[in-house]
Structure 1
Amino acid sequence: MADEVETFLKADLPNLAFPVLEDIRRQGKLCDVTLKVGDRKFRAHRIVLAASIPYFHAMFTHDMVESKQDEISMQGIDPNALESLVNFAYNGRVEIDQNNVQSLLVAASFLHLQSVKDACCNFLNKRLHPTNCLGVRSFADQYMCTGLVEAANKYVQKHFKDVMRSEEFLNLPRTDVLDILGRDELNVSTEEQVYEAVLLWVKKEIDSRQDCLPELMVKVRLPLLTPQFLSDRVATEELIKSSHKCRDLLDVARDYHLMLERRPLLQTFKARPRCCSDIPGMIYAVGGLTSSGDSLSTVECFDPLVSRWSVAEAMSTMRSRVGVAVLNGQLYAIGGYDGQDRLSTVEVFDQSTKRWKKVAAMNCKRSALGAAALNRRLYVLGGYDGVTSLKSVEVFDPENNVWTILSNMLKHRSASGVTVLDGEIYACGGHDGLSIFDSVECYNTSTNTWRYLAPMMSKRCRLGIAALNGKLYAAGGYDGSVFLKTVECYNPEKNEWRPVKAMKVKRSRVALVSTYGKIYAIGGYDGSTNLSSVEMYDPEKDTWEFVSPMTAHEGGVGVGVVPVEPEV
């Protein structure tokens, strides 16, 4: 009979042995090496240090001169940090606080203790603040903590409105300021805040920094400033007036607003609005129809971070085919149909009070209208007044609570797709009661004029339209014979449309919005059924996937995205 072999395993032996080693060290027994920093000395066991700390493993196992020395001098390391990390070698614990985190990170980098280094980075990441994020970023970059550098960069972008007023920002070198101001991802409500940041930085040390102003002003997207701001605030600034180069930049920005035909030649600035994709927005679905055809006052909101719908405060009026836009962080429900009449009334939902209130009514009754917010104003266009499709356009000034008529569109458009791209308003498709359009027209607020752009690849009314990453996306709708699930994308630089991945479901009366770097197609009608389902498009992967369906709606809703301000 062959010898039988049994293996006994005491799995917790390492866990039991290390506390004993720590106790032996505390008694000063069997220690065979002393680490010296300045006048501080720490006794330890070579084998424990080599087993736990990569730096000492290399030192003691590769015949370095220190491997034979009883006392080893350590240079460029904080003695308290070294003591903590030698203790860590025995017990796997280290306490991190505001006072020791930097010295611990430096020492952990020196000793190649990646786990402790990562813990220090995580500690700093969780405590980023507008007053320290730039310093943390610089420190992290010095010690090659790439994850923390990226986190600090995103924090700077997300909280730029507070960071720009910090002492750290005002003390940055010119190259760092140029880098930050050039980023697409800066979270600003208007480009005016970037202009203000430039002046704050220059005026902090005006004598040495005044010459930097022209190259900093190139980073400000001056075409995104209103003509009024350019005239009232930029042109009157003494620093601008005293610089030939800055005055030239100002003239180019004015030409951008006044001379549309020269826009392709004006490459001095970026004209695309900044978009911080780290800022989530709550998607509000407003009004719509029941399955029996009745108008709704119901409102629900979707949090894309947790993919969950919840019911919000209902409007005071039932509204289907309602126009929805978000202006200054407030959600507007505009016009629509209440089951009997087309409406001119407008109400606004205030996030802080969670209540709807009426504001001034439009000049025209409109359902199936387009609505968009731009330059602190609310624009509505087209729609149906109960008799005919409209081409009229009006603008709302919330400060004075008044609507003003603007230039008509080039076509009568009801059920078109309307959104803002690069500081202009786009109206895509729709119908005039007789024909469904593939045409696209674009409105310039400075000149109060409309112009045609390249038509879409398909005729579409009741489509969804959204802007993301400098491009337009048109989805779904109805072409007169077929309910569509196709999607196409417009590139303004090439003035051309191309197909992208189709939605999973046919959707007429679909609401399309972009937030957090994705596009959401919400509700609609597939030719036989009102839809509560929602799909999300990822432009990087060119894929659609279903997310949580609406809980209180089916069919066509109006949709707006209310940005959630990041907490400091």
Structure 2
Amino acid sequence: MAHRDHNSPGSSRNIGPQNRARGLGAIPPNADGRMDFLEEPENNEEFPLQVVNRRHNQPRARAGGVRIVTYQSYRGYRLRREDQQEQQGRFYNSPPVNQDQQNDIVPVLSSPDGFSSDSLAGEEHEWSDGMSSISDLDERLPPAAAPPAYPVPGAADSPPPDFLGISMGSRGVGSSRGNKRTRTGSTSSYSSVESVCFNSRKQKISNTNSVQCISQRMALIDKLQKYRSNKEFTDVILTVEDQEIACHRVVLAANSPYFHALLSSNMKEGREGRVHIQGHKPEIVHMLVRHAYAEAIKVTTENAQDVLEAADYFQMDMLKSHCEKFLIRQVAESNCLGLMQFASLHSLDRLYNKAKKYAVKNFNKVSQQEEFLRLPLATLSKYLEDHGLVVQREEHVYDAAMRWLEYDATRKEHVAEVLRCVRLFFVSSRFLFEVITKHPMFQGNPEVQNILSEACKYHALGSNEMKHGSLPHTKPRASSGISEVLVVVGGICNNRRLLYTECYHPNKQDWISLSDISTSHATMHSYSVCSHKNDIYITGGHSNSGMTMDAVSVYFSNIDQWSLLAHMQHPRERHGSASVDGAVYVAGGLMASPKNRKKPGVLDNVERYRPDYNRWEKVKPLPKRCYSPGVLSYKEKLYVIGGVSMTEEPSNSSKIILDCIQCYDPLKDSWSQLPLGRPLARLSCALYRDHFYMISNNASSIFRYDPNTCTLEEWRELHELNVEFAGLAAFNGKLVISGGQKGSTTLNHMLVIDFESGRVEEEVKMKRSRCMHGCVPIDKFG
């Protein structure tokens, strides 16, 4: 069809008055850029408009009357999807449909809530409820399948057309300047207002043409804004300080559940139509009211927090969400800590996570800011304790903590609490002894001296006791690349000696193979395994020839290699070992001699290994000889728990189970005894926060002992237990039971138990089945 001149008698500008009354303005271009003008009947008479919907590949149907021809296009389908999302907006209820006017349903449709495409550029945002352009909608919507084609309306079973697109450019029909793009920063939008009319509901209206026009909605919004500015029909007044704001209660109630509850109740404000607002600035309340009336408001870095606070108070959740998005874009080293506190106060999870992530990753820059020095103690402690803090050296954390303490003289009373946030175990020994311990602020403070004493002991002696406590300051930070891993060593499976060494990495959630045992312990069993200064020691054992051995092997974790050390002075098996006071101690056990292999003797001797000299030396023997005890260190003392002993009658010696704990003090070279509460033997033990955790062969309970009160309890009963020769360790803040023998089956899994609840959290499969093995945590790089 040839295009007509706009001034010709049959042009689209000569639509009759009856047709203009229907509110049909300019006709949009086709998908291929051409315009579909009105088709005129031959007699040039005026007829009612008839909406015709056709596909690109359908011919135009000829009929009497004036017809508008549109395309049912892919864009239409996407606009319908945008319409479904718009039902979540503030104005989403369509006007009631009159039975007499079902041919033209014109509900009000709001613009999309949120930022426009160019509103996030720069440091201030202007929000408007004007509809963004169709092209912007195309960019935001995901691809979708094209909708089915509909026949020409008027046919017997034709459904109504899904939409009628009307584009209102600034220069009218077909104007190229009306769709001119403007750019702000790195984002873009259309300068013209594009009105899109489409069906806003999924209702089935048979034989009708549903037309929804945003222009009517915009007109309604304009009238509400005009009524408010002229104080027409206003029925409620907001009083803020000395200013009064006249509003329509229906608008406030539609935007705020707070006002809805306040004005719809029988409260004074609802009856009198006057609401007194306190704690918010007048200009901020004005902004909220303008936003309620769909007017544009400008949010800047200066007022964003005030606007968000007010939106949170008045429960305007969409505005609150918009402000949160704006603040997320403003996170920097100068404000991230303050935004963390603000977000925590107002339950802004996205802002909190963003600010925290930035603060943790940029500690060196953030700690130099004035905002860091003004942090309250609780926030500072939480920040410095964060395991994910990215620092090259722990000394940087110490320096930042000292700057905070020295910023205000009154903070001296918080020295101990702040110093606990620094992981002193991982500063260099020279820095600890020459800088930290000599600081004048720490002198004369007993609590601080205890903290420094623990750190000095760890650096000098390498005690594992502090690490077994699983306290935050005893673990390396994640940025160091060092992780605590659980190492399982050797053992037995189906009467076969195992030489395999493997570690479980909690971050990778996988088992990693380490160097196999390459010493004589590869063919032994019934040995004892412990860790000292991040290395692993195997002592004693029972050889294939049936002999008790005095061999000692060490695994150097830094080079992943096994090596033999000096032999013990006494061969032993089924004994216990632990690291105390910078040395490795072995206590008790059995010794099978060549003359008496079937009836080995029970040992009472104790000896210790000095790694610096590769030398073993005797210490005072056990008061009560035993084998298969539980052995661990606590507060720089050696604890030998229970065990199997022998009666002292030479003619009729028999086995007995000890019900006591034998405690050795290295400084005094003396033993003392503590009550255990019940006989226990064949124990695996672990230390966690001042408590001993123990499992005994074939028992279904985990025992917990408090050495400070000398009380024993059945901490948790687990029917999954009833195993023997399992490994036990406090690892990664959990209690871990690995492997073991159950009946004739050797187990190949680990039970991970939560210390707080006592429940089994997960069951981790091991690479192979094993029992009578070593199970110790160490630190490993990578």
- Give the TM-score category using the shorter length: 0.5 to 0.7
> Aligned partners of 2:517 and 2:590: how far apart in 1?
21
Residue 394 of structure 1 is matched in structure 2 by 608
Aligned partner letter, 1:112: Q
Residue 660 of structure 2 is matched in structure 1 by 439
Shift of 1:155: 12
> Aligned partners of 1:287 and 1:460: how far apart in 2?
22
Matches within 5 A, 1:259-274: none
Matched, 1:332 2:567: no
Matched, 1:556 2:762: no
Residue 690 of structure 2 is matched in structure 1 by 470
> Aligned partners of 1:133 and 1:539: how far apart in 2?
34
Of 617, 631, 642, which residue of structure 2 is paired with 1:418?
Answer: 631
Residue 111 of structure 2 is matched in structure 1 by 22
SS of the aligned residue for 1:75 comes to: helix
Question: Structure 2 vs 1, CA of residues 282 and 206 (structure 1 numbering), >3 Å: closer, same or farther?
Answer: closer
Shift of 1:105: 5.5
Shift of 1:83: 7.7
> Aligned partners of 1:151 and 1:220: how far apart in 2?
27
Larger radius of gyration: 2
Residue 29 of structure 2 is matched in structure 1 by none
Question: Structure 2 vs 1, CA of residues 13 and 201 (structure 1 numbering), >3 Å: closer, same or farther?
Answer: closer
Question: Structure 2 vs 1, CA of residues 374 and 131 (structure 1 numbering), >3 Å: closer, same or farther?
Answer: farther
Of 313, 338, 341, which residue of structure 2 is paired with 1:138?
Answer: 341
Shift of 1:552: 0.9
Residue 513 of structure 2 is matched in structure 1 by 312
Q: CA contact under 8 A between 1:360 and 1:403: conserved in structure 2?
A: no
Matched, 1:275 2:471: yes
Residue 356 of structure 1 is matched in structure 2 by 560
More contact order relative to length (CA 8 Å, sep ≥ 6): 1
Aligned partner letter, 1:358: W
Q: Percent identity?
A: 17
Number of matched residues? 499
> Aligned partners of 1:287 and 1:122: how far apart in 2?
55
Q: CA contact under 8 A between 1:295 and 1:337: conserved in structure 2?
A: no
Question: Structure 2 vs 1, CA of residues 521 and 48 (structure 1 numbering), >3 Å: closer, same or farther?
Answer: farther
Matches within 5 A, 1:182-197: none
Question: Structure 2 vs 1, CA of residues 202 and 173 (structure 1 numbering), >3 Å: closer, same or farther?
Answer: same
Residue 745 of structure 2 is matched in structure 1 by 529
Shift of 1:437: 3.0
SS of the aligned residue for 1:508 comes to: coil
Matches within 5 A, 1:165-244: 166-167=367-368, 171-172=372-373, 176=377, 180=381, 201-202=401-402, 206=406, 208-209=408-409, 212-213=411-412, 216-217=415-416, 236-241=438-443
SS of the aligned residue for 2:557 comes to: strand
Aligned partner letter, 2:715: V
Question: Structure 2 vs 1, CA of residues 173 and 406 (structure 1 numbering), >3 Å: closer, same or farther?
Answer: farther
SS of the aligned residue for 1:296 comes to: coil
- What's the TM-score, normalizing by structure 1? 0.63
Cα RMSD of the aligned pairs, angstroms, is 6.2
Of 319, 336, 343, which residue of structure 1 is paired with 2:551?
Answer: 343
Question: Structure 2 vs 1, CA of residues 237 and 281 (structure 1 numbering), >3 Å: closer, same or farther?
Answer: closer
Question: Structure 2 vs 1, CA of residues 115 and 551 (structure 1 numbering), >3 Å: closer, same or farther?
Answer: farther
Q: CA contact under 8 A between 2:574 and 2:590: conserved in structure 1?
A: no
Q: CA contact under 8 A between 2:753 and 2:762: conserved in structure 1?
A: no
Q: CA contact under 8 A between 2:364 and 2:396: conserved in structure 1?
A: no
Question: Structure 2 vs 1, CA of residues 168 and 415 (structure 1 numbering), >3 Å: closer, same or farther?
Answer: farther
Deviations 1:284-336 (A, max 9, x none): 32211121232332425263x78x553522423326445444556x4524235
> Aligned partners of 2:668 and 2:295: how far apart in 1?
71
Of 729, 735, 741, which residue of structure 2 is paired with 1:513?
Answer: 729
Residue 93 of structure 1 is matched in structure 2 by none
Deviations 1:26-79 (A, max 9, x none): 35532124999xxxxxxxx99898556545756886769699xxxxx9634898
Matches within 5 A, 1:153-168: 166-167=367-368
Question: Structure 2 vs 1, CA of residues 540 and 522 (structure 1 numbering), >3 Å: closer, same or farther?
Answer: same
Aligned partner letter, 1:459: L
Matches within 5 A, 1:112-123: 112-113=315-316
Question: Structure 2 vs 1, CA of residues 212 and 102 (structure 1 numbering), >3 Å: closer, same or farther?
Answer: closer
Q: Return 5+ residue gaps in structure 2 as ranges.
A: 1-79, 93-108, 113-128, 132-192, 194-217, 230-247, 276-280, 457-465, 593-600, 647-654
SS of the aligned residue for 2:680 comes to: coil
Q: Return 5+ residue gaps in structure 1 as ranges.
A: 1-9, 37-44, 68-72, 90-97, 258-269, 478-482
SS of the aligned residue for 2:312 comes to: helix
- What's the TM-score, normalizing by structure 2? 0.48
SS of the aligned residue for 1:541 comes to: coil
Matches within 5 A, 1:41-80: 51=254, 54=257, 75-76=283-284
Q: CA contact under 8 A between 2:699 and 2:722: conserved in structure 1?
A: yes
Question: Structure 2 vs 1, CA of residues 53 and 406 (structure 1 numbering), >3 Å: closer, same or farther?
Answer: farther
